Amino acid sequence: ASEAEEKDLVIVGGGVAGYVAAIKAGQSGLKVACIEKRGTLGGTCLNVGCIPSKSLLNNSHLLHTIQHDTKNRGIEVGDIKLNLDVMMKAKDTSVQGLTKGVEFLFKKNNVEYIKGTGAFKDEHTIAVNLNDGGETEVKGKNIFIATGSESTPFPGLTINEENVITSTGAIALKKVPKKMVVIGGGIIGLEMGSVWSRLGSEVTVVEFLGQIGGPGMDQEISKQIQKMLAKQGMKFKLNTKVTKGDASAESIKINVEAAKGGKEELLDADVVLVAIGRRPYTAGLGLENIGLDVDERGRLVIDQEYRTKIPHIRAIGDVTFGPMLAHKAEEEGVAAVEFITKNYGHVNYNAIPSVMYTHPEVAWVGQNEQELKAQGVKYKIGSFPFSANSRAKTNLDTEGMVKFITDAETDRILGVHIVGPNAGEMIAEGTLALEYGASAEDVGRTSHAHPTLSEAFKEAAMAAYGKAIHY
Ligand code: FAD
Ligand code: NAD
């Protein structure tokens, strides 16, 4: 970077929030630089998160299907073997293709990419320790902090990413563990637990709450997916907390007890996955040099235009409020740039979908039943099982349901919850409906192609204001 030149925008962090903001800024004609220390672009999501985990989920599901679900389809296969090394290489190929793709998009959109670690020197200057050695400084009229998040550690269990692992170790194990204990039955625990369970591990998930999938997941749906995952071989200990762990010997000992106190038990495992959440990452960023604080959960405090208390410094993505999701980070990247270029940006936080990529998938948008009950909102439910859907039947993949929750008086959609094949793709329609303020009847009177899984979506909507035809 040239020290003299001041950029319109300097972004610290080249994850989804940062790289999307950089491209949008480049497209909008701003002079922009993005500082990333990892050596590759795309952040947690592309390098060690969304993308590698989905590659392993997809391929482990294929293996599981071939092992357990071919005979009844008239497909006879011979010896089936896992080649973990090749499966990991396939994952790496997907990751590399995508991170390089972002680098190409930087060039295409005139984004200056600085490989190094950035820290605030003053309110307009970032000092960069370059990955290749040496230092530089970049000045920005505007600065975005997009430094993301890291796994929350579990006290007493030191992560080595070999047998005491976070998701980063879980996407790179060199052999299939015999026994894996997963601490935390949230999205990471269930996705990565699924991968290793399908590849042959005996997986036990220990979850503090009374349901898996986190509090955002509708309780009815959570119960259903838990049954399905249990049928696939995963074990669950709900309302249970891990009190301590001892990884000093090869067989790791995990002490658990009932969340409300009482019954204790000792679990053993050869790998333990710590998946108790993620926390914002601002270490080494020099926030103290400019007097910026984080809140009690480590988040940078911002206003509705993503401004910190120093208005030309904004924060986006996992490092600030809201769900830690790549598509949320992406929306914020675009909106934050628009606040600079147009004084207006928009993200609808009520219509951000969540997807868990197990099989079947779980996806939802808007509010769930337990939230609406707590708020005293009067609602209606319309649901439709995939077992009554023609395409699911032809696919011999009929587990799950679509569930609409609508305002009892107006029929406006308040939430859509799906557990079933392809739920993650189907939720886009629910998100669009919510974004447009649609009623269930708007969806129910829209033609959906036959035979498709999305007919279950239409029929669940019909059930919310009237009756489904096929159930
Ligand atoms: P990050 O992606 O964490 O990027 C921040 C970047 O900043 C990092 O690359 C870091 O190296 C860099 N950085 C930090 N400090 C500095 C500094 N001082 N100088 C220079 N660079 C710095 N979300 C989904 O929506 N769908 C999924 O399927 C999904 N799967 C996931 C699976 C796993 C295993 C994990 C861990 C996460 C998953 N997520 C998923 C969440 C998603 O990865 C995050 O929400 C997303 O990456 C947030 O983007 P971000 O840009 O805010 O932060
Ligand atoms: P999470 O917050 O989703 O789940 C953590 C779970 O651990 C919670 O259910 C919590 O009750 C439980 N827990 C906490 N302490 C515990 C203890 N001592 N004993 C037992 N259970 C305990 O966090 P995560 O699964 O680690 O995921 C981190 C973030 O990454 C999330 O924000 C998630 O949205 C994101 N992510 C998203 C996807 C996706 O979109 N498909 C995939 C992976 C990760």
ipTM: 0.99
Question: Does 181 contact ligand 2 (Cβ within 6 A)?
Answer: no
User: What phi, psi does 153 have (nearest 5°)?
Assistant: -75, 155
Distance of CA 208 to the CA centre of its chain: 20
Question: Does 102 contact ligand 1 (Cβ within 6 A)?
Answer: no
Instruction: Please tell me the distance from the alpha carbon of residue 49 to that of residue 136, in angstroms, as a whole number.
Output: 30
- Closest to 319 measured CA to CA, from 336, 339, 295: 295
Q: Tell me what the mean pLDDT of segment 154-173 comes to.
A: 97
Binding-site residues for NAD(+), in ranges, read: 184-191, 207, 277
Instruction: Please tell me the distance from the alpha carbon of residue 378 to that of residue 406, in angstroms, as a whole number.
Output: 9
Residue 200 has pLDDT above 60, yes or no: yes
The number of the ligand 2 atom at minimal distance from the alpha carbon of 152 is 26
The number of the ligand 2 atom at minimal distance from the alpha carbon of 186 is 4
Q: Which amino acid residue places its CA nearest to atom 22 of ligand 2?
A: 184
Q: How long, in residues, is the chain?
A: 471
Q: CA angle, corner 234, sides to 231 and 235, nearest 5?
A: 105
Residue 345 has pLDDT above 50, yes or no: yes
Residue 146 has pLDDT above 50, yes or no: yes
Q: How confident is the model at residue 2 (pLDDT cuts 50, 70, 90)?
A: very low
Q: Which of 64, 359, 417, 450 is catalytic?
A: 450
Binding-site residues, in ranges, read: 54, 118, 147-149, 184-191, 207, 277, 318, 324-327
Q: How confident is the model at residue 262 (pLDDT cuts 50, 70, 90)?
A: confident
Instruction: Please tell me the distance from the alpha carbon of residue 35 to that of residue 377, in angstroms, as a whole number.
Output: 46
Residue pair 440/465 in contact by the 8 Å Cβ criterion: yes
Helix (H, G, I), strand (E, B) or coil at 6: strand
Question: Does 280 contact ligand 2 (Cβ within 6 A)?
Answer: no
pLDDT of residue 263: 84
User: What phi, psi does 356 have (nearest 5°)?
Assistant: -110, 125
Rounded to the nearest whole angstrom, what is the distance from the C-alpha of residue 424 to the centroid of ligand 1?
A: 20
Q: Which amino acid residue places its CA nearest to atom 34 of ligand 1?
A: 49
Rounded to the nearest whole angstrom, what is the distance from the C-alpha of residue 200 to the centroid of ligand 2?
A: 23
Residue pair 471/460 in contact by the 8 Å Cβ criterion: no
Question: Does 115 contact ligand 1 (Cβ within 6 A)?
Answer: no
Q: Tell me what the mean pLDDT of segment 407-427 comes to.
A: 98
The number of the ligand 2 atom at minimal distance from the alpha carbon of 243 is 18
Rounded to the nearest whole angstrom, what is the distance from the C-alpha of residue 225 to the centroid of ligand 2?
A: 16
Instruction: Please tell me the distance from the alpha carbon of residue 149 to that of residue 163, in angstroms, as a whole number.
Output: 22
Question: Does 185 contact ligand 2 (Cβ within 6 A)?
Answer: yes
Ligand lying closest to the C-alpha of residue 191: 2
- How many C-alpha atoms does 282 have within 13 Å on its Cβ side? 23
Question: Does 148 contact ligand 1 (Cβ within 6 A)?
Answer: yes
- Closest to 16 measured CA to CA, from 337, 341, 327, 346: 327
Q: Tell me what the mean pLDDT of segment 354-365 comes to.
A: 98
Distances (CA, A) of 13 to 17, 58, 142, 430: 8, 28, 14, 32
Q: DSSP character for 109?
A: T
Distances (CA, A) of 208 to 50, 80, 113, 184, 363: 24, 37, 42, 7, 22
Which residue type occupies 2?
S
Rounded to the nearest whole angstrom, what is the distance from the C-alpha of residue 147 to the centroid of ligand 1?
A: 8
Which residue type occupies 12?
V
- Closest to 170 measured CA to CA, from 91, 251, 94, 107: 91
Residue pair 275/196 in contact by the 8 Å Cβ criterion: no
Helices (H), 199-353: 219-231, 326-341
Residue 452 has pLDDT above 80, yes or no: yes
Helix (H) or strand (E) holding 142: strand 135-145
Question: Does 424 contact ligand 2 (Cβ within 6 A)?
Answer: no
Q: DSSP character for 200?
A: T
Q: For the chain, what percent of residues have pLDDT higher than 70?
A: 99
* Tens-digit pLDDT profile for residues 98-144: 999 999 999 999 999 999 999 999 999 999 999 999 999 999 999 99
The number of the ligand 1 atom at minimal distance from the alpha carbon of 333 is 51
Rounded to the nearest whole angstrom, what is the distance from the C-alpha of residue 228 to the centroid of ligand 1?
A: 29
pLDDT of residue 1: 46
Residue pair 62/55 in contact by the 8 Å Cβ criterion: no
Question: Does 16 contact ligand 1 (Cβ within 6 A)?
Answer: yes
The number of the ligand 1 atom at minimal distance from the alpha carbon of 284 is 18
Q: Mean pLDDT, the chain, as a whole number?
A: 97
pLDDT of residue 232: 96
Residue pair 146/15 in contact by the 8 Å Cβ criterion: yes
* Tens-digit pLDDT profile for residues 274-326: 999 999 999 999 999 999 999 999 999 999 999 999 999 999 999 999 999 99
pLDDT of residue 304: 97
Instruction: Please tell me the distance from the alpha carbon of residue 43 to that of residue 99, in angstroms, as a whole number.
Output: 9
pLDDT of residue 34: 98
Residue 4 has pLDDT above 70, yes or no: no
Q: Tell me what the mean pLDDT of segment 207-229 comes to.
A: 97
Q: Model-level pTM?
A: 0.98
Rounded to the nearest whole angstrom, what is the distance from the C-alpha of residue 387 to the centroid of ligand 1?
A: 37
Q: Among this protein's residues, is 68 annotated catalytic?
A: no
Q: How confident is the model at residue 5 (pLDDT cuts 50, 70, 90)?
A: confident
Look-up of token digits 């002490």: 255
